[in-house]
Structure 1
Amino acid sequence: MTTLASPPETLDVLDPSTGEPIATVEIGDADAAVRAARAAAPAWARTAAAERAERLKAGARRLREHVDQLAELQSREGGKPLADSRGGIEAGIGAIEQYAELGPLHRGKALQGGWNATDVMVHEPRGVVALLVPWNDPVAIACGQIAAALVAGNAVVFKPSEKTPLSGARIVELLDIPGGALQLLQGDARVGRPLAAHPDVDLVMHTGSVQTGREIADVVAGRMGKALLELGGKDALIVDADVDPAWAAEQAALGAYANAGQICTSVERIYVHEAVAEPFVEALARAADGWTIGPLIDARQREVVHAHVTDAVERGARLVRGGAVPDGPGFFYPPTVLVGGDRDAPVLREETFGPVAAVQVVTSFDEALALADDTEYGLAATVLTKNPEHAQRAVRELAVGTVKINAVFGGAPGGAAEPARLSGSGFGYGPELLDELTRTKVVHMGIAP
């Protein structure tokens, strides 16, 4: 009797602007992907660092030749406006090129030992690295993490989000890393969980929710493994009494509405001094009217956002703009402005991840600073002020990985921060990521008699 094989499990990929399916992907096998990466790891680790870098540079050139295609693909499956999507692709390619330069320069240390001895600290690849990449900026994040892991000599199992698998697959095709050192694993939690729990995975790198991050941290700790986690945030913006309220409103709108509020460091809470509160809110409302944004990623995320807004209004917040689910296809939600209400409402305590500017009026900078720091999260915060003492206090007193003064986005290349509190642990970018992706070995070489 012949036994027919079960058909492979699949996932539909939706266009967030219409809600309609645009593709179907086959769910992969986590164990097979890890075993393939483990088999490829020794040869890739023995490949000279300069050669690994050249492979990545060649892949970056191929990606650059297909920027428009990748941008359109990312926009269709993730909902990003096309110009923003292209910017993310360019940033991802830039990250590959940067790590291709940094990798061969990732130096160890020579130690001062005995005259007839050599003592050094050297970096070695960890082995197999699992990357669980989110949907909100899938190409930029994937490119940086893949490049860093590969140039450090690791084999990689790359699992893109099940919501944005198409751009992830195209990245792997265009990078064209030889020997199986880069494995693509498609799927949702059905493959993510066994991937993170696999005993042959040496490091798990996850960018995403606190809930998933906790689960990964627990399972990895059980085998004494390593996890790099960038998780949720509830980033605050402080508007001091001495700044131009119109300029501050422009900054607030950019922080709250860019990518429909679906950026890890989006502004989610605003504490504005009462001296400038009225003109600030008026300017923010005008700014909200002028923003055109893409859809949220799916219906579930829109439900979360709208539930936060509805709850805030029920708790006394004034709805100044937005706050209504629009008619029509897709998962759109309007730029929304809330003022006041219960300071313990979810819109001020939990990650919203949508285009909502929740404003609270305060009587002093001290009050604003205390409220900004009163959170379980610690990803980033922004302070708009002309007062250098206030800026310095924010830098010293806010328990976050990144403090931004007078700009909601920006910063010099090469900066790297460790998240605080529930927002994660470890360096997830910058040159320091290469340290995380390698083990440090001390070598002492003496002379035999």
Structure 2
Amino acid sequence: MSIATVNPATGETLKTYEAMGEEEIERRLQLAEATFRTYRTTAFDERARMMRAAADLLVQDQQDVARMMTTEMGKPVRQARAEAVKCAKAMRWYADHAEELLADEEPSDVDVKDSGATEVRVRYRPLGPVLAVMPWNFPLWQVIRFAAPALMAGNVGLLKHASNVPQTALYLEDLFHRAGFPEGCFQTLLVPSRAVDDILRDERVKAATLTGSEPAGRAVASTAGEMVKKTVLELGGSDPFVVMPSADLARAAEVAVTARCQNNGQSCIAAKRFIVHTDIYDAFAARFVRGMQALKVDDPLHEETQIGPLSSEQGRKDLEELVDDAVRGGATVLCGGKRPDGPGWYYPPTVLAGITREMRIHREEAFGPVATLYRATDLDEAVLIANDTPFGLSSNVWTHDEAEIDRFTRDLEAGSVYVNGMTASHPAFPFGGVKRSGYGRELSGHGIREFCNITTVWHGA
């Protein structure tokens, strides 16, 4: 089987790679296991030195890396450069903070004495080789937010990246090697999705993390459960963006456009459902539609482009089917809604109104620049609509009413609530969701401890 880079702006196949066979996979698993035995004993300052070196190299490479990502999956090149810089910052953050985040902890003296011990410590120890199954939409960031904490904790990484970004996958392995990490610390497995099950079942693989679709998450969770292995899953999202009368309407509408269309609308944490109080609905809708229509759709390698192509022909087809289903059900298209002529897998920024619970787009994630508008009569209805989804990744709330803020932060079913701002991931903040958006957390201290053996060390007299 071959794994290929296909430029989504043209449909042209740029590079083709042969998938790794069983012998190469076995060699890499052996190497990962052997490397872990020694790498786990390295000091934090040594790991930090190598992680900072990798960050420096990534910043130096950002122009070339950005063009590579753009030609593999279509994001505007300016956003691709920003992704590379963000990754470097996260790597430095973990280099700076990992030791303190994983420092031994001591229970209170009362607890220690009550246990009959002279000393008790809680120690965080690495697990071993961790398999990362990663998506194409943020081909650097999704990997680095796993790799930086995992490597700083003393684990080693095995990356099964999305098959449409093989160049980025291979670059990441080379990046860590050039930074001085021992061979086998971070390896890319160029394999098809069907190979994941056997790799995860291998006893040398101690845990797995997946960011991707619900079906992929179920498959990994099922195998990991059978093998009794730790997993972290970050799956889909259909994030609400709630706007109440006290909000700064102009700012909310401006941010709403970015929140929906970042990364060509192909982001799990992109706002997708815009729930607006009836008193300001018409004014918000007018501003929002104008902003969506003003976005420049063009070649993603052009600096001024704001919307590039979707990552695949199938992705565009899936999005079109959601829009067409909504229109057949009575939704109104306020802008967009039709694919343009010409090469590439482009789809215009689109706003749909009049959404009902019977429409697929109400309950399924729209992975592309398509927004749905909802009218809420009051706070209660806004919360009800926001939670009426199988997903619970993040949420956005626009209001200056403290009582409303308290209610939203208490009752919204999501892993994050962003008030008067757009959802974004940051290395210092835990990231993850509830319901079908997955479980576990990435980033922050919570993320680095996910793949650690939390060990109680008890000393008697």
Once the two structures are TM-superposed, the CA of residue 411 in structure 1 deviates from its matched residue by: 7.3
Once the two structures are TM-superposed, the CA of residue 259 in structure 1 deviates from its matched residue by: 1.2
Structure 1 residue 294 and structure 2 residue 298: aligned?
Answer: no
Partner of 1:24: 16
2:415–2:434 contact (8 Å) kept in structure 1: yes
Distance in structure 2 (CA, Å) of the matches to 1:386 and 1:444: 50
Question: Which of 316, 323, 345 is matched with 1:331 structurally?
Answer: 345
2:176–2:186 contact (8 Å) kept in structure 1: no
Question: Which of 187, 195, 198 is matched with 1:194 structurally?
Answer: 198
Partner of 1:76: 71
Once the two structures are TM-superposed, the CA of residue 218 in structure 1 deviates from its matched residue by: 1.0
Distance in structure 2 (CA, Å) of the matches to 1:79 and 1:141: 16
Partner of 1:380: 394
Q: In the alignment, residue 348 of structure 1 is paired with which amino acid?
A: H
The 10-residue stretch of structure 1 (34-43 or 290-299) with the greater mean CA deviation from structure 2: 34-43
Distance 1:361 1:148, change over 3 A: same
Once the two structures are TM-superposed, the CA of residue 417 in structure 1 deviates from its matched residue by: 3.8
Provide the secondary structure at the position in 2 that maps to 1:178.
coil
The 10-residue stretch of structure 1 (387-396 or 163-172) with the greater mean CA deviation from structure 2: 163-172
Once the two structures are TM-superposed, the CA of residue 118 in structure 1 deviates from its matched residue by: 2.9
The 10-residue stretch of structure 1 (149-158 or 184-193) with the greater mean CA deviation from structure 2: 184-193
Distance 1:50 1:134, change over 3 A: same
Q: In the alignment, residue 31 of structure 2 is paired with which amino acid?
A: A
Structure 1 residue 122 and structure 2 residue 146: aligned?
Answer: no
1:274–1:363 contact (8 Å) kept in structure 2: yes
Q: In the alignment, residue 174 of structure 1 is paired with which amino acid?
A: L
Distance in structure 2 (CA, Å) of the matches to 1:32 and 1:217: 25
Once the two structures are TM-superposed, the CA of residue 71 in structure 1 deviates from its matched residue by: 0.9
Provide the secondary structure at the position in 2 that maps to 1:324.
coil
Distance in structure 2 (CA, Å) of the matches to 1:35 and 1:190: 20
Distance 1:116 1:370, change over 3 A: closer
Q: In the alignment, residue 395 of structure 1 is paired with which amino acid?
A: T
Once the two structures are TM-superposed, the CA of residue 149 in structure 1 deviates from its matched residue by: 0.8
Distance in structure 1 (CA, Å) of the matches to 2:266 and 2:54: 28
Once the two structures are TM-superposed, the CA of residue 368 in structure 1 deviates from its matched residue by: 1.2
1:203–1:227 contact (8 Å) kept in structure 2: yes
What are the Cα deviations for residues 164-191 of structure 1, in whole angstroms up to 9, with x where unaligned?
A: 1211211221221213121111133133
Q: In the alignment, residue 123 of structure 1 is paired with which amino acid?
A: Y
What are the Cα deviations for residues 219-269 of structure 1, in whole angstroms up to 9, with x where unaligned?
A: 101111100011111111111123344332212211111111111111111
Once the two structures are TM-superposed, the CA of residue 80 in structure 1 deviates from its matched residue by: 0.9
Once the two structures are TM-superposed, the CA of residue 412 in structure 1 deviates from its matched residue by: 6.6
Partner of 1:427: 441
Provide the secondary structure at the position in 1 that maps to 2:292.
helix
Q: In the alignment, residue 48 of structure 2 is paired with which amino acid?
A: A
Partner of 2:132: 131
1:99–1:144 contact (8 Å) kept in structure 2: no
What are the Cα deviations for residues 364-412 of structure 1, in whole angstroms up to 9, with x where unaligned?
A: 2211111111111110111111211111100000111001111123477
1:161–1:187 contact (8 Å) kept in structure 2: no
Partner of 1:303: 317
What are the Cα deviations for residues 315-359 of structure 1, in whole angstroms up to 9, with x where unaligned?
A: 111111000011111111000011113233111111111101111
Distance 1:45 1:73, change over 3 A: same
Structure 1 residue 364 and structure 2 residue 378: aligned?
Answer: yes
The 10-residue stretch of structure 1 (46-55 or 189-198) with the greater mean CA deviation from structure 2: 189-198
Structure 1 residue 203 and structure 2 residue 207: aligned?
Answer: yes
The 10-residue stretch of structure 1 (375-384 or 106-115) with the greater mean CA deviation from structure 2: 106-115
Once the two structures are TM-superposed, the CA of residue 195 in structure 1 deviates from its matched residue by: 2.5
Structure 1 residue 259 and structure 2 residue 263: aligned?
Answer: yes
Structure 1 residue 227 and structure 2 residue 224: aligned?
Answer: no
Partner of 1:108: 104
2:90–2:427 contact (8 Å) kept in structure 1: no
1:253–1:357 contact (8 Å) kept in structure 2: no
Question: Which of 273, 286, 289 is matched with 1:285 structurally?
Answer: 289
Distance in structure 2 (CA, Å) of the matches to 1:392 and 1:418: 21
2:395–2:423 contact (8 Å) kept in structure 1: no
Distance 1:360 1:116, change over 3 A: closer
Provide the secondary structure at the position in 2 that maps to 1:194.
helix
Provide the secondary structure at the position in 2 that maps to 1:46.
coil
1:252–1:357 contact (8 Å) kept in structure 2: no
Partner of 2:82: 87
The 10-residue stretch of structure 1 (277-286 or 243-252) with the greater mean CA deviation from structure 2: 243-252
Distance 1:244 1:156, change over 3 A: closer
Partner of 1:184: 188
Partner of 2:299: none
Distance in structure 2 (CA, Å) of the matches to 1:110 and 1:395: 32
1:268–1:348 contact (8 Å) kept in structure 2: no
Q: In the alignment, residue 46 of structure 1 is paired with which amino acid?
A: T
The 10-residue stretch of structure 1 (411-420 or 35-44) with the greater mean CA deviation from structure 2: 411-420
1:132–1:158 contact (8 Å) kept in structure 2: yes
State the TM-score, normalized to the length of structure 2.
0.91
The 10-residue stretch of structure 1 (23-32 or 307-316) with the greater mean CA deviation from structure 2: 23-32
- Percent sequence identity is 31
Distance in structure 1 (CA, Å) of the matches to 2:244 and 2:344: 38
Distance 1:14 1:411, change over 3 A: closer
The unaligned stretches of length 5 or more in structure 1 are 1-8
Aligned residues, how many? 439
Distance in structure 1 (CA, Å) of the matches to 2:195 and 2:89: 30
2:145–2:427 contact (8 Å) kept in structure 1: no
Distance in structure 1 (CA, Å) of the matches to 2:192 and 2:287: 42
Partner of 2:302: none
Q: In the alignment, residue 288 of structure 1 is paired with which amino acid?
A: M
Partner of 1:6: none
Partner of 2:146: 145
Distance in structure 2 (CA, Å) of the matches to 1:214 and 1:382: 27
Distance in structure 2 (CA, Å) of the matches to 1:340 and 1:290: 22
1:379–1:419 contact (8 Å) kept in structure 2: yes
Distance in structure 1 (CA, Å) of the matches to 2:54 and 2:205: 25
Q: In the alignment, residue 381 of structure 1 is paired with which amino acid?
A: S
Provide the secondary structure at the position in 2 that maps to 1:110.
coil
Partner of 2:330: 316
Partner of 1:5: none
Provide the secondary structure at the position in 1 that maps to 2:91.
helix
Distance 1:326 1:11, change over 3 A: same
What are the Cα deviations for residues 189-232 of structure 1, in whole angstroms up to 9, with x where unaligned?
A: 13333223333211101011111111111110111110001111
Partner of 1:352: 366
Partner of 1:40: 35
RMSD (Å) for aligned C-alpha atoms: 1.7
